[in-house]
Amino acid sequence: MDCFASSHAELMDIVTGSFPGLPGVTHREVVFVTKLYRQASEWRSGTLELARARQVSAEPLPGQPAYSPDRLDAALLEELARDGRASWAELGAACGVSPQTARRRVERFLATGYIALRCDTSTAAQQGLREVTLVLNVPAHYVDDVGHYFAALSNCRLSAQVLGAQNLLVTMWVRDYLQVQAYERELADRAPGSTVISRQAVVRTFKRMGHVLDESGCSRSVVPLPLWTEGL
């Protein structure tokens, strides 16, 4: 499970307060992400037509000064969590503002880095791709190079430096589990002394970014991510 929190104290409340009370939980290991080389919002499948791919990879919006989000921002993001394809008119109507205001607010959020665009696919649309995670322990003087190596691969969903018994976690899309051996051979060449702590194949994903998924990986309901709980 990936957990996001606004502070270290809030995260500790989740992992020490909420988790132990869940039925069936017998063990937990907390690993902190300390550096991201690539995250899922940056993954590309290569299946889009060139013209549409250019639209997705358009130049970033000009930077804007930081500001304090308000209730309207929270409402807009909640609607986007439900339907990331909603038009400006639909967003504005849902939040009681004009399409222009909805667009201006969302674009400001994108420009300041509060949110990022992301696209996921159902299992049925993945054309045989399987998700595999390697948990690695890489000598400290190699870890950045290895993290960037995996991040540069087109089928990499996540490459992150972490703090724990391991120090690097990578998630890849593969068509054949034997591909994992090729990555491990490359790892041995690039970073002698590296150790594979575990290899994990994802059989089913139950929830992703607030979307509860059915057996085919399609969204069946949404639990909006609570981005702010106080001060609004």
Residues 172 and 147 in one domain: yes
Residue 226, domain member (yes or no): no
Residue 92, domain member (yes or no): yes
- Say how far apart CA 121 and CA 100 lie, in whole Å: 30
- Say how far apart CA 41 and CA 81 lie, in whole Å: 14
Q: Which CATH number do you get for residue 195?
A: 3.30.70.920
Residues 131 and 197 in one domain: yes
Q: Which pLDDT belongs to residue 168?
A: 96
Q: Which pLDDT belongs to residue 141?
A: 95
pTM: 0.73
- Say how far apart CA 160 and CA 210 lie, in whole Å: 21
Phi/psi for 69 (5° steps) reads: -60, 150
Angle (deg, nearest 10), helices 99-112 and 88-95: 100
Q: Which domain holds residue 15?
A: 1-28
- Residue 46, phi-psi category: left (phi > 0), alpha (psi -120 to 50), beta (remainder): left
Helix/strand/coil for 141: coil
Long-range contacts of 180-186 (CB under 8 A, 24+ apart): 180/132, 180/134, 183/134, 183/150, 184/134, 186/149
Residues 197 and 133 in one domain: yes
- Residue 172, phi-psi category: left (phi > 0), alpha (psi -120 to 50), beta (remainder): beta
Q: Which pLDDT belongs to residue 26?
A: 83
How many helices, marked H, and strands, marked E, lie in the chain? 7, 8
pLDDT by residue, tens only, the chain of 232 residues: 777 777 888 888 888 887 777 888 888 788 889 999 998 766 655 556 667 666 655 555 555 566 678 889 889 988 888 888 899 999 999 999 999 999 999 988 888 877 777 777 777 666 778 889 999 999 999 999 999 999 999 889 899 999 988 999 999 989 899 999 999 999 999 999 999 999 999 888 888 878 888 887 888 888 877 665 544 4
Q: Which pLDDT belongs to residue 41?
A: 65
Q: Which pLDDT belongs to residue 169?
A: 95
Residue 229, domain member (yes or no): no
Find the distance separating the first CA and the last CA of the chain, reported in whole Å.
28
- Say how far apart CA 190 and CA 182 lie, in whole Å: 12
Buried b (16+ CB within 10 A) or exposed e, 118-127: eebeebeebe
Residue 209, domain member (yes or no): no
Q: Which helix (H) or strand (E) holds 125?
A: none
Q: Which pLDDT belongs to residue 232?
A: 40
Residue 91, domain member (yes or no): yes
Helix/strand/coil for 147: helix
